[in-house]
Structure 1
Protein backbone atom coordinates (compact mmCIF):
# COMPACT_ATOMS: atom_id res chain seq x y z
CA UNK A 1 0.00 0.00 0.00
CA UNK A 2 3.03 2.29 0.30
CA UNK A 3 2.66 3.50 -3.28
CA UNK A 4 -1.10 4.04 -2.93
CA UNK A 5 -1.71 7.17 -0.86
CA UNK A 6 -5.34 7.78 0.10
CA UNK A 7 -5.56 11.10 1.90
CA UNK A 8 -8.18 12.31 4.36
CA UNK A 9 -9.58 14.69 1.75
CA UNK A 10 -10.32 11.75 -0.54
CA UNK A 11 -11.89 9.64 2.21
CA UNK A 12 -14.10 12.59 3.13
CA UNK A 13 -15.66 12.36 -0.34
CA UNK A 14 -17.39 9.20 0.84
CA UNK A 15 -19.50 11.24 3.26
CA UNK A 16 -21.39 12.66 0.27
CA UNK A 17 -22.00 9.30 -1.39
CA UNK A 18 -25.45 7.76 -0.69
CA UNK A 19 -24.05 4.25 -0.42
CA UNK A 20 -22.74 1.89 2.25
CA UNK A 21 -19.16 0.71 2.02
CA UNK A 22 -19.08 -3.08 2.13
CA UNK A 23 -16.29 -5.64 2.07
CA UNK A 24 -15.91 -9.11 0.65
CA UNK A 25 -13.07 -11.55 0.13
CA UNK A 26 -11.75 -12.96 -3.11
CA UNK A 27 -9.09 -15.53 -2.33
CA UNK A 28 -6.76 -13.75 0.04
CA UNK A 29 -7.80 -10.23 -1.02
CA UNK A 30 -10.13 -7.92 0.87
CA UNK A 31 -12.13 -6.02 -1.71
CA UNK A 32 -14.40 -3.02 -1.25
CA UNK A 33 -17.66 -1.98 -2.89
CA UNK A 34 -20.18 0.84 -2.61
CA UNK A 35 -23.67 -0.61 -2.15
CA UNK A 36 -26.47 1.78 -3.09
CA UNK A 37 -29.18 -0.58 -1.87
CA UNK A 38 -27.79 -1.78 1.44
CA UNK A 39 -29.95 0.57 3.54
CA UNK A 40 -33.15 -0.54 1.80
CA UNK A 41 -32.17 -4.17 2.24
CA UNK A 42 -31.48 -3.72 5.95
CA UNK A 43 -34.80 -1.92 6.50
CA UNK A 44 -36.80 -4.72 4.91
CA UNK A 45 -37.86 -2.75 1.85
CA UNK A 46 -38.42 -4.91 -1.23
CA UNK A 47 -34.99 -5.36 -2.76
CA UNK A 48 -34.53 -4.29 -6.36
CA UNK A 49 -32.55 -6.38 -8.85
CA UNK A 50 -28.80 -6.00 -8.43
CA UNK A 51 -26.44 -4.40 -10.93
CA UNK A 52 -22.73 -4.95 -10.32
CA UNK A 53 -20.84 -1.99 -11.79
CA UNK A 54 -17.26 -2.65 -12.88
CA UNK A 55 -15.21 0.51 -13.56
CA UNK A 56 -12.27 1.10 -15.88
CA UNK A 57 -8.51 0.81 -15.60
CA UNK A 58 -7.94 3.95 -13.48
CA UNK A 59 -11.41 4.42 -11.98
CA UNK A 60 -12.02 3.62 -8.31
CA UNK A 61 -15.62 2.90 -7.34
CA UNK A 62 -16.40 6.46 -6.29
CA UNK A 63 -15.77 7.66 -9.84
CA UNK A 64 -18.98 5.86 -10.88
CA UNK A 65 -21.09 7.45 -8.14
CA UNK A 66 -22.84 9.80 -10.57
CA UNK A 67 -23.86 6.79 -12.66
CA UNK A 68 -25.06 4.63 -9.75
CA UNK A 69 -27.19 7.46 -8.30
CA UNK A 70 -29.18 7.66 -11.53
CA UNK A 71 -30.08 3.97 -11.48
CA UNK A 72 -31.38 3.49 -7.93
CA UNK A 73 -35.04 3.82 -8.95
CA UNK A 74 -34.62 0.75 -11.19
CA UNK A 75 -32.00 -1.43 -9.54
CA UNK A 76 -29.66 -1.92 -6.61
CA UNK A 77 -26.33 -0.61 -7.93
CA UNK A 78 -23.17 -1.97 -6.33
CA UNK A 79 -19.89 -0.48 -7.56
CA UNK A 80 -16.67 -2.43 -7.01
CA UNK A 81 -13.23 -1.05 -6.27
CA UNK A 82 -11.37 -3.38 -8.62
CA UNK A 83 -8.34 -5.10 -7.12
CA UNK A 84 -5.49 -2.64 -6.67
CA UNK A 85 -7.76 0.41 -6.81
CA UNK A 86 -9.61 2.54 -4.29
CA UNK A 87 -9.89 0.77 -0.93
CA UNK A 88 -9.41 -2.76 -2.30
CA UNK A 89 -6.26 -4.78 -1.69
CA UNK A 90 -3.63 -5.15 -4.37
CA UNK A 91 -2.50 -8.76 -5.00
CA UNK A 92 1.00 -9.57 -3.80
CA UNK A 93 1.53 -11.75 -6.87
CA UNK A 94 0.57 -8.95 -9.27
CA UNK A 95 -2.25 -10.98 -10.81
CA UNK A 96 -4.43 -8.63 -12.85
CA UNK A 97 -5.48 -11.21 -15.42
CA UNK A 98 -9.02 -11.46 -16.72
CA UNK A 99 -9.32 -14.72 -14.82
CA UNK A 100 -8.45 -13.00 -11.55
CA UNK A 101 -10.89 -10.16 -12.20
CA UNK A 102 -13.68 -12.61 -12.97
CA UNK A 103 -12.92 -14.50 -9.76
CA UNK A 104 -13.54 -11.19 -7.99
CA UNK A 105 -16.88 -10.75 -9.77
CA UNK A 106 -18.07 -14.15 -8.57
CA UNK A 107 -16.81 -13.38 -5.06
CA UNK A 108 -18.70 -10.06 -5.02
CA UNK A 109 -22.00 -11.60 -6.08
CA UNK A 110 -21.70 -14.35 -3.49
CA UNK A 111 -20.06 -12.38 -0.68
CA UNK A 112 -22.45 -9.43 -0.90
CA UNK A 113 -25.53 -11.61 -1.40
CA UNK A 114 -26.55 -9.93 -4.65
CA UNK A 115 -28.67 -12.75 -6.07
CA UNK A 116 -29.62 -12.45 -9.73
CA UNK A 117 -27.31 -9.78 -11.08
CA UNK A 118 -26.79 -7.75 -14.21
CA UNK A 119 -23.15 -6.92 -14.98
CA UNK A 120 -22.47 -3.34 -16.11
CA UNK A 121 -18.88 -2.59 -17.06
CA UNK A 122 -17.08 0.34 -18.63
CA UNK A 123 -13.82 -0.13 -20.59
CA UNK A 124 -11.77 -2.66 -18.59
CA UNK A 125 -14.95 -3.36 -16.63
CA UNK A 126 -16.73 -4.23 -19.89
CA UNK A 127 -14.05 -6.78 -20.74
CA UNK A 128 -14.37 -8.25 -17.23
CA UNK A 129 -18.17 -8.42 -17.54
CA UNK A 130 -17.92 -10.27 -20.85
CA UNK A 131 -15.35 -12.73 -19.51
CA UNK A 132 -17.44 -13.36 -16.38
CA UNK A 133 -20.61 -13.91 -18.42
CA UNK A 134 -19.11 -16.80 -20.40
CA UNK A 135 -17.68 -18.73 -17.45
CA UNK A 136 -19.06 -22.25 -17.07
CA UNK A 137 -22.00 -22.17 -14.70
CA UNK A 138 -22.42 -18.40 -14.89
CA UNK A 139 -26.04 -17.36 -14.43
CA UNK A 140 -26.11 -13.59 -14.61
CA UNK A 141 -29.36 -11.88 -15.54
CA UNK A 142 -27.62 -10.02 -18.36
CA UNK A 143 -24.73 -7.76 -19.22
CA UNK A 144 -24.18 -4.20 -20.44
CA UNK A 145 -20.75 -3.54 -21.90
CA UNK A 146 -19.79 0.10 -22.34
CA UNK A 147 -16.96 0.76 -24.81
CA UNK A 148 -14.88 -2.39 -24.24
CA UNK A 149 -11.28 -2.17 -25.51
CA UNK A 150 -11.08 -3.90 -28.88
CA UNK A 151 -7.30 -3.81 -29.14
CA UNK A 152 -5.33 -7.04 -29.03
CA UNK A 153 -3.00 -9.30 -30.99
CA UNK A 154 -3.12 -8.47 -34.68
CA UNK A 155 -5.24 -5.39 -34.04
CA UNK A 156 -4.42 -1.76 -33.47
CA UNK A 157 -2.94 -0.70 -30.12
CA UNK A 158 -5.04 0.60 -27.27
CA UNK A 159 -5.43 4.32 -28.08
CA UNK A 160 -4.26 5.64 -24.69
CA UNK A 161 -0.59 4.82 -24.20
CA UNK A 162 0.80 3.41 -20.98
CA UNK A 163 2.98 6.51 -20.75
CA UNK A 164 -0.13 8.73 -20.67
CA UNK A 165 -1.62 6.69 -17.84
CA UNK A 166 1.66 6.81 -15.93
CA UNK A 167 1.89 10.59 -16.33
CA UNK A 168 -1.58 11.05 -14.86
CA UNK A 169 -0.72 8.73 -11.97
CA UNK A 170 2.51 10.62 -11.28
CA UNK A 171 0.58 13.91 -11.18
CA UNK A 172 -1.93 12.45 -8.74
CA UNK A 173 0.77 11.15 -6.41
CA UNK A 174 2.64 14.41 -6.24
CA UNK A 175 -0.65 16.25 -5.76
CA UNK A 176 -2.93 17.53 -8.51
CA UNK A 177 -6.19 19.43 -8.84
CA UNK A 178 -9.24 19.69 -11.07
CA UNK A 179 -7.61 22.31 -13.29
CA UNK A 180 -4.65 20.08 -14.12
CA UNK A 181 -6.94 17.07 -14.63
CA UNK A 182 -8.81 19.15 -17.21
CA UNK A 183 -5.69 18.97 -19.37
CA UNK A 184 -6.55 15.32 -19.99
CA UNK A 185 -10.32 15.44 -19.50
CA UNK A 186 -11.62 18.91 -20.46
CA UNK A 187 -15.24 17.78 -20.95
CA UNK A 188 -15.72 16.41 -17.44
CA UNK A 189 -17.68 18.26 -14.78
CA UNK A 190 -15.79 19.94 -11.94
CA UNK A 191 -16.90 17.31 -9.42
CA UNK A 192 -15.69 14.42 -11.53
CA UNK A 193 -12.34 16.12 -12.12
CA UNK A 194 -12.00 16.75 -8.38
CA UNK A 195 -12.69 13.10 -7.61
CA UNK A 196 -10.16 12.09 -10.24
CA UNK A 197 -7.56 14.38 -8.67
CA UNK A 198 -8.09 12.93 -5.20
CA UNK A 199 -8.61 9.23 -5.96
CA UNK A 200 -6.36 8.34 -8.90
CA UNK A 201 -3.39 7.93 -6.54
CA UNK A 202 -5.18 4.97 -4.94
CA UNK A 203 -4.47 2.90 -8.07
CA UNK A 204 -1.48 0.58 -7.75
CA UNK A 205 1.09 1.11 -10.49
CA UNK A 206 1.04 -2.55 -11.45
CA UNK A 207 -2.76 -2.53 -11.71
CA UNK A 208 -2.37 -0.08 -14.59
CA UNK A 209 0.75 -1.59 -16.17
CA UNK A 210 -0.49 -5.19 -16.14
CA UNK A 211 -4.00 -4.31 -17.28
CA UNK A 212 -2.67 -2.20 -20.14
CA UNK A 213 -0.54 -5.16 -21.21
CA UNK A 214 -3.72 -7.22 -21.22
CA UNK A 215 -5.34 -4.74 -23.58
CA UNK A 216 -2.56 -5.55 -26.06
CA UNK A 217 -2.29 -9.32 -25.50
CA UNK A 218 -5.91 -10.40 -24.93
CA UNK A 219 -8.53 -10.17 -27.67
CA UNK A 220 -12.07 -9.14 -26.73
CA UNK A 221 -13.38 -10.99 -29.77
CA UNK A 222 -12.07 -14.31 -28.43
CA UNK A 223 -15.03 -14.40 -26.06
CA UNK A 224 -17.50 -11.73 -27.20
CA UNK A 225 -19.30 -14.10 -29.56
CA UNK A 226 -20.08 -16.42 -26.61
CA UNK A 227 -21.57 -13.74 -24.33
CA UNK A 228 -25.15 -14.89 -23.73
CA UNK A 229 -28.29 -12.86 -24.20
CA UNK A 230 -29.49 -10.46 -23.08
CA UNK A 231 -26.44 -8.31 -23.64
CA UNK A 232 -26.07 -4.72 -24.83
CA UNK A 233 -22.90 -3.11 -26.14
CA UNK A 234 -22.94 0.68 -25.68
CA UNK A 235 -20.24 2.71 -27.41
CA UNK A 236 -19.31 6.32 -28.01
CA UNK A 237 -19.90 7.63 -31.52
CA UNK A 238 -16.50 9.34 -31.37
CA UNK A 239 -14.68 6.60 -29.46
CA UNK A 240 -11.24 5.57 -30.70
CA UNK A 241 -11.60 2.38 -28.65
CA UNK A 242 -14.76 1.12 -30.38
CA UNK A 243 -14.54 2.65 -33.82
CA UNK A 244 -16.94 2.05 -36.71
CA UNK A 245 -15.09 -1.06 -37.84
CA UNK A 246 -15.07 -2.45 -34.31
CA UNK A 247 -18.79 -1.82 -33.88
CA UNK A 248 -19.50 -3.55 -37.19
CA UNK A 249 -17.39 -6.57 -36.20
CA UNK A 250 -19.08 -6.72 -32.80
CA UNK A 251 -22.54 -6.72 -34.38
CA UNK A 252 -21.55 -9.52 -36.75
CA UNK A 253 -19.79 -11.65 -34.13
CA UNK A 254 -22.69 -11.65 -31.67
CA UNK A 255 -25.85 -11.23 -33.70
CA UNK A 256 -28.15 -11.45 -30.69
CA UNK A 257 -26.58 -8.48 -28.95
CA UNK A 258 -28.04 -4.98 -28.99
CA UNK A 259 -25.59 -2.27 -30.06
CA UNK A 260 -26.30 1.30 -29.00
CA UNK A 261 -24.31 4.31 -30.16
CA UNK A 262 -24.12 7.35 -27.87
CA UNK A 263 -23.68 10.58 -29.81
CA UNK A 264 -21.15 13.22 -28.74
CA UNK A 265 -19.24 10.67 -26.68
CA UNK A 266 -15.72 9.36 -26.89
CA UNK A 267 -14.40 6.42 -24.89
CA UNK A 268 -15.37 7.98 -21.55
CA UNK A 269 -18.99 7.64 -22.50
CA UNK A 270 -20.63 8.42 -19.15
CA UNK A 271 -18.44 11.46 -18.59
CA UNK A 272 -18.67 12.80 -22.13
CA UNK A 273 -22.43 12.36 -22.64
CA UNK A 274 -24.03 11.38 -19.33
CA UNK A 275 -27.64 11.79 -20.41
CA UNK A 276 -27.24 9.72 -23.57
CA UNK A 277 -25.19 7.05 -21.80
CA UNK A 278 -27.62 6.74 -18.90
CA UNK A 279 -30.59 6.59 -21.25
CA UNK A 280 -28.92 3.70 -23.10
CA UNK A 281 -28.19 1.85 -19.85
CA UNK A 282 -31.67 2.39 -18.45
CA UNK A 283 -33.26 1.12 -21.65
CA UNK A 284 -31.06 -1.96 -21.53
CA UNK A 285 -32.01 -2.59 -17.89
CA UNK A 286 -35.70 -2.17 -18.63
CA UNK A 287 -35.36 -4.77 -21.39
CA UNK A 288 -33.53 -7.24 -19.13
CA UNK A 289 -35.63 -9.78 -17.18
CA UNK A 290 -34.17 -10.07 -13.69
CA UNK A 291 -36.66 -12.33 -11.98
Structure 2
Protein backbone atom coordinates (compact mmCIF):
# COMPACT_ATOMS: atom_id res chain seq x y z
CA UNK A 1 0.00 0.00 0.00
CA UNK A 2 1.27 3.45 -0.96
CA UNK A 3 -0.57 6.48 0.45
CA UNK A 4 -3.56 4.28 1.25
CA UNK A 5 -3.82 2.79 -2.24
CA UNK A 6 -2.62 -0.43 -3.80
CA UNK A 7 -0.41 0.56 -6.72
CA UNK A 8 0.45 -2.07 -9.32
CA UNK A 9 3.91 -2.29 -10.88
CA UNK A 10 4.95 -4.17 -14.01
CA UNK A 11 8.59 -5.14 -14.59
CA UNK A 12 10.75 -6.31 -17.47
CA UNK A 13 14.43 -7.21 -17.55
CA UNK A 14 16.97 -8.59 -15.05
CA UNK A 15 16.29 -7.55 -11.44
CA UNK A 16 19.94 -6.61 -10.94
CA UNK A 17 20.18 -4.43 -14.07
CA UNK A 18 20.16 -0.60 -13.94
CA UNK A 19 16.61 0.44 -13.03
CA UNK A 20 14.46 2.63 -15.27
CA UNK A 21 11.16 3.87 -13.80
CA UNK A 22 8.40 4.58 -16.34
CA UNK A 23 5.38 6.84 -15.83
CA UNK A 24 2.52 6.77 -18.35
CA UNK A 25 0.21 9.59 -19.40
CA UNK A 26 -3.26 10.75 -18.39
CA UNK A 27 -5.21 7.83 -19.86
CA UNK A 28 -2.31 5.38 -19.97
CA UNK A 29 -1.28 2.26 -18.09
CA UNK A 30 1.93 0.41 -17.35
CA UNK A 31 1.93 -1.89 -20.35
CA UNK A 32 2.02 1.08 -22.74
CA UNK A 33 5.80 0.66 -22.33
CA UNK A 34 5.86 -2.93 -23.58
CA UNK A 35 7.39 -2.07 -26.96
CA UNK A 36 10.15 0.02 -25.38
CA UNK A 37 10.81 -2.85 -22.98
CA UNK A 38 11.58 -5.20 -25.86
CA UNK A 39 14.54 -2.98 -26.73
CA UNK A 40 15.78 -2.01 -23.27
CA UNK A 41 14.96 -5.04 -21.11
CA UNK A 42 18.02 -7.13 -22.00
CA UNK A 43 20.26 -4.53 -20.31
CA UNK A 44 17.89 -2.65 -17.98
CA UNK A 45 15.34 -3.33 -15.27
CA UNK A 46 12.23 -1.51 -16.42
CA UNK A 47 9.68 -0.65 -13.74
CA UNK A 48 6.36 0.71 -15.02
CA UNK A 49 3.75 1.97 -12.57
CA UNK A 50 -0.02 1.82 -13.02
CA UNK A 51 -0.64 5.25 -11.56
CA UNK A 52 -3.55 5.73 -9.18
CA UNK A 53 -6.91 5.23 -10.85
CA UNK A 54 -5.47 3.28 -13.79
CA UNK A 55 -4.77 -0.30 -14.80
CA UNK A 56 -4.53 -2.69 -11.88
CA UNK A 57 -4.03 0.05 -9.28
CA UNK A 58 -6.74 1.24 -6.92
CA UNK A 59 -9.02 4.10 -7.83
CA UNK A 60 -8.83 7.09 -5.49
CA UNK A 61 -12.21 7.68 -3.80
CA UNK A 62 -11.11 11.24 -3.05
CA UNK A 63 -10.26 11.89 -6.72
CA UNK A 64 -6.80 13.17 -5.85
CA UNK A 65 -5.61 12.96 -9.44
CA UNK A 66 -3.09 15.78 -9.19
CA UNK A 67 0.68 16.13 -9.48
CA UNK A 68 1.26 16.35 -5.72
CA UNK A 69 -0.48 12.98 -5.25
CA UNK A 70 1.33 11.36 -8.19
CA UNK A 71 4.62 12.69 -6.81
CA UNK A 72 3.94 11.20 -3.37
CA UNK A 73 3.04 7.89 -5.05
CA UNK A 74 6.29 7.87 -7.04
CA UNK A 75 8.30 8.62 -3.92
CA UNK A 76 6.56 5.77 -2.12
CA UNK A 77 7.01 3.28 -4.95
CA UNK A 78 10.74 3.86 -5.48
CA UNK A 79 11.39 3.79 -1.74
CA UNK A 80 9.41 0.57 -1.33
CA UNK A 81 11.49 -0.99 -4.12
CA UNK A 82 14.72 0.16 -2.50
CA UNK A 83 15.79 2.26 -5.49
CA UNK A 84 18.47 4.69 -4.37
CA UNK A 85 19.49 5.76 -7.88
CA UNK A 86 17.70 5.19 -11.17
CA UNK A 87 16.66 6.60 -14.54
CA UNK A 88 13.20 8.18 -14.89
CA UNK A 89 11.04 8.41 -18.02
CA UNK A 90 7.65 10.12 -18.12
CA UNK A 91 5.11 10.70 -20.88
CA UNK A 92 2.74 13.67 -20.74
CA UNK A 93 1.13 13.60 -17.27
CA UNK A 94 3.88 11.23 -16.17
CA UNK A 95 6.36 13.77 -17.50
CA UNK A 96 4.92 16.46 -15.25
CA UNK A 97 5.48 14.26 -12.21
CA UNK A 98 8.96 13.42 -13.49
CA UNK A 99 10.01 17.07 -13.80
CA UNK A 100 8.90 17.78 -10.24
CA UNK A 101 10.51 14.63 -8.83
CA UNK A 102 13.81 15.36 -10.58
CA UNK A 103 13.91 18.91 -9.26
CA UNK A 104 13.16 17.71 -5.73
CA UNK A 105 15.43 14.64 -5.72
CA UNK A 106 18.34 15.39 -8.10
CA UNK A 107 20.77 12.95 -6.48
CA UNK A 108 18.41 10.01 -6.99
CA UNK A 109 18.46 10.25 -10.80
CA UNK A 110 21.19 9.50 -13.32
CA UNK A 111 19.05 10.70 -16.22
CA UNK A 112 15.60 12.10 -16.92
CA UNK A 113 13.69 11.59 -20.18
CA UNK A 114 10.50 13.54 -20.85
CA UNK A 115 8.12 12.64 -23.65
CA UNK A 116 6.16 15.48 -25.20
CA UNK A 117 5.31 17.82 -22.38
CA UNK A 118 6.66 21.24 -21.45
CA UNK A 119 5.60 24.13 -19.22
CA UNK A 120 2.15 25.30 -20.25
CA UNK A 121 1.29 22.22 -22.32
CA UNK A 122 -1.61 21.17 -20.11
CA UNK A 123 -2.99 24.67 -19.65
CA UNK A 124 -3.29 26.08 -23.15
CA UNK A 125 -2.97 25.33 -26.83
CA UNK A 126 -4.63 23.00 -29.30
CA UNK A 127 -3.44 19.84 -27.56
CA UNK A 128 -4.78 20.87 -24.16
CA UNK A 129 -8.11 21.81 -25.73
CA UNK A 130 -8.23 18.51 -27.62
CA UNK A 131 -7.65 16.44 -24.50
CA UNK A 132 -10.28 18.32 -22.48
CA UNK A 133 -12.77 17.86 -25.32
CA UNK A 134 -11.95 14.15 -25.55
CA UNK A 135 -12.39 13.72 -21.81
CA UNK A 136 -15.70 15.61 -21.85
CA UNK A 137 -17.03 13.45 -24.70
CA UNK A 138 -15.57 10.16 -23.44
CA UNK A 139 -18.16 7.36 -23.51
CA UNK A 140 -18.47 5.82 -20.07
CA UNK A 141 -19.13 2.40 -21.60
CA UNK A 142 -19.71 0.61 -24.91
CA UNK A 143 -22.43 -1.84 -25.89
CA UNK A 144 -20.05 -4.17 -27.71
CA UNK A 145 -16.35 -4.76 -28.28
CA UNK A 146 -16.89 -3.69 -31.89
CA UNK A 147 -18.19 -0.34 -30.74
CA UNK A 148 -15.16 0.07 -28.47
CA UNK A 149 -12.83 -0.88 -31.32
CA UNK A 150 -14.39 1.77 -33.56
CA UNK A 151 -13.85 4.37 -30.84
CA UNK A 152 -10.16 3.48 -30.52
CA UNK A 153 -9.64 3.53 -34.29
CA UNK A 154 -11.16 6.99 -34.55
CA UNK A 155 -9.28 8.44 -31.58
CA UNK A 156 -5.88 6.94 -32.46
CA UNK A 157 -5.78 6.52 -36.26
CA UNK A 158 -1.99 6.05 -36.41
CA UNK A 159 -2.07 2.85 -34.35
CA UNK A 160 -1.83 -0.52 -36.06
CA UNK A 161 -4.64 -3.07 -35.75
CA UNK A 162 -2.44 -5.09 -33.39
CA UNK A 163 -1.80 -2.04 -31.22
CA UNK A 164 -5.52 -1.25 -31.11
CA UNK A 165 -6.28 -4.76 -29.87
CA UNK A 166 -3.58 -4.46 -27.22
CA UNK A 167 -4.99 -1.18 -25.94
CA UNK A 168 -8.49 -2.58 -25.84
CA UNK A 169 -7.30 -5.53 -23.77
CA UNK A 170 -5.42 -3.26 -21.37
CA UNK A 171 -7.86 -0.36 -21.05
CA UNK A 172 -11.29 -2.04 -21.16
CA UNK A 173 -13.16 -4.83 -19.38
CA UNK A 174 -16.54 -6.49 -19.65
CA UNK A 175 -18.73 -5.87 -16.62
CA UNK A 176 -21.33 -8.15 -15.03
CA UNK A 177 -24.02 -6.80 -17.36
CA UNK A 178 -21.99 -7.51 -20.48
CA UNK A 179 -21.21 -3.85 -21.12
CA UNK A 180 -17.67 -2.81 -22.05
CA UNK A 181 -16.30 -0.38 -19.46
CA UNK A 182 -13.00 1.39 -18.89
CA UNK A 183 -10.42 -0.11 -16.56
CA UNK A 184 -9.56 3.31 -15.21
CA UNK A 185 -11.47 5.89 -13.19
CA UNK A 186 -12.75 7.73 -16.26
CA UNK A 187 -15.25 9.85 -14.34
CA UNK A 188 -12.86 10.93 -11.58
CA UNK A 189 -9.92 11.58 -13.88
CA UNK A 190 -12.10 13.48 -16.36
CA UNK A 191 -13.46 15.65 -13.54
CA UNK A 192 -10.02 16.71 -12.32
CA UNK A 193 -8.81 17.39 -15.87
CA UNK A 194 -11.87 19.37 -17.00
CA UNK A 195 -12.53 21.28 -13.76
CA UNK A 196 -9.30 21.11 -11.74
CA UNK A 197 -8.67 22.69 -8.37
CA UNK A 198 -6.59 25.74 -9.39
CA UNK A 199 -4.56 25.56 -6.18
CA UNK A 200 -3.23 22.14 -7.20
CA UNK A 201 -2.17 23.04 -10.75
CA UNK A 202 1.62 22.99 -11.11
CA UNK A 203 3.68 25.62 -12.92
CA UNK A 204 6.52 23.59 -14.41
CA UNK A 205 8.94 26.45 -15.07
CA UNK A 206 10.43 26.46 -11.54
CA UNK A 207 11.07 22.71 -11.77
CA UNK A 208 12.53 23.02 -15.27
CA UNK A 209 14.88 25.82 -14.23
CA UNK A 210 15.95 23.88 -11.13
CA UNK A 211 16.88 20.67 -12.96
CA UNK A 212 20.43 19.50 -12.25
CA UNK A 213 19.93 16.10 -13.87
CA UNK A 214 20.86 15.35 -17.51
CA UNK A 215 17.48 15.68 -19.23
CA UNK A 216 16.27 14.77 -22.70
CA UNK A 217 12.94 16.08 -23.99
CA UNK A 218 11.56 13.95 -26.83
CA UNK A 219 8.97 15.84 -28.85
CA UNK A 220 6.74 14.59 -31.64
CA UNK A 221 7.08 16.59 -34.86
CA UNK A 222 3.29 16.59 -35.29
CA UNK A 223 2.54 17.19 -31.61
CA UNK A 224 -0.30 19.61 -30.88
CA UNK A 225 0.56 19.50 -27.17
CA UNK A 226 4.25 20.26 -26.67
CA UNK A 227 5.24 23.52 -28.35
CA UNK A 228 8.58 23.55 -30.16
CA UNK A 229 9.22 27.16 -29.10
CA UNK A 230 8.74 26.24 -25.44
CA UNK A 231 11.17 23.34 -25.70
CA UNK A 232 13.76 25.65 -27.26
CA UNK A 233 13.25 28.09 -24.39
CA UNK A 234 13.77 25.25 -21.90
CA UNK A 235 17.13 24.38 -23.43
CA UNK A 236 18.07 28.07 -23.41
CA UNK A 237 17.26 28.49 -19.73
CA UNK A 238 18.87 25.26 -18.53
CA UNK A 239 22.00 23.73 -20.07
CA UNK A 240 21.20 20.35 -18.49
CA UNK A 241 18.31 19.98 -20.94
CA UNK A 242 18.65 18.75 -24.52
CA UNK A 243 15.89 17.91 -26.95
CA UNK A 244 15.10 15.88 -30.03
CA UNK A 245 12.12 15.97 -32.38
CA UNK A 246 10.89 12.67 -33.83
CA UNK A 247 9.69 12.96 -37.42
CA UNK A 248 6.07 12.06 -38.12
CA UNK A 249 5.15 11.46 -34.49
CA UNK A 250 2.27 13.08 -32.63
CA UNK A 251 1.94 13.58 -28.86
CA UNK A 252 2.22 9.80 -28.46
CA UNK A 253 5.80 9.42 -29.66
CA UNK A 254 6.44 5.98 -28.14
CA UNK A 255 3.37 4.67 -30.00
CA UNK A 256 3.79 6.49 -33.31
CA UNK A 257 7.53 5.97 -33.77
CA UNK A 258 8.61 3.15 -31.44
CA UNK A 259 11.93 2.37 -33.12
CA UNK A 260 13.43 5.89 -33.23
CA UNK A 261 11.95 6.55 -29.79
CA UNK A 262 13.71 3.51 -28.32
CA UNK A 263 16.94 4.49 -30.08
CA UNK A 264 16.91 7.97 -28.57
CA UNK A 265 16.12 6.58 -25.13
CA UNK A 266 18.79 3.88 -25.34
CA UNK A 267 21.52 6.30 -26.43
CA UNK A 268 20.69 8.80 -23.69
CA UNK A 269 20.66 6.17 -20.95
CA UNK A 270 23.97 4.76 -22.20
CA UNK A 271 25.50 8.24 -22.09
CA UNK A 272 24.40 8.71 -18.47
CA UNK A 273 24.98 5.46 -16.53
CA UNK A 274 23.99 5.18 -12.89
CA UNK A 275 27.52 5.91 -11.72
CA UNK A 276 27.65 9.28 -13.47
CA UNK A 277 26.90 12.57 -11.78
TM-score bucket of the superposed structures, by smaller chain: 0.7 to 0.9
What are structure 1's unaligned runs of at least 5 residues?
1-24, 42-46
Residue aligning to 1:210: 192
TM-score (norm 1): 0.81
**Equivalent residues of 1:233, 1:258 under 8 A apart:** yes
In 1, the alpha carbon distance for the partners of 2:83 and 2:143 equals 35
Residue aligning to 1:54: 23
In 2, the alpha carbon distance for the partners of 1:123 and 1:30 equals 23
Higher alpha-carbon deviation: 119-128 or 139-148: 139-148
| Shift in Å, 1:270 | 0.9
**SS of structure 1 residue aligned to 2:267:** helix
**SS of structure 2 residue aligned to 1:141:** strand
**SS of structure 2 residue aligned to 1:290:** coil
The C-alpha deviation readout for 1:100-157, integer Å capped at 9, x for no partner, is: 1111111111112334211101111111111111125752222101111543698536
2:101 aligned residue (132, 135, 147): 132
TM-score (norm 2): 0.84
1:253 aligned residue (209, 220, 237): 237
The C-alpha deviation readout for 1:44-74, integer Å capped at 9, x for no partner, is: xxx1110000000001112221222221123
Q: How many residues align?
A: 260
The C-alpha deviation readout for 1:3-35, integer Å capped at 9, x for no partner, is: xxxxxxxxxxxxxxxxxxxxxx21211100101
Higher alpha-carbon deviation: 208-217 or 225-234: 208-217
Residue aligning to 2:7: 31
**Equivalent residues of 2:55, 2:183 under 8 A apart:** yes
**SS of structure 2 residue aligned to 1:30:** coil
1:237 aligned residue (221, 231, 255): 221
Residue aligning to 1:193: 164
In 1, the alpha carbon distance for the partners of 2:152 and 2:124 equals 30
- Where do residues 78-93 of structure 1 align in structure 2 (5 Å cutoff)? 78-93=47-62
> In the superposition, relative to structure 1, how do residues 149 and 104 fare at CA in structure 2: closer, same or farther (>3 Å)?
same
What are structure 2's unaligned runs of at least 5 residues?
172-181
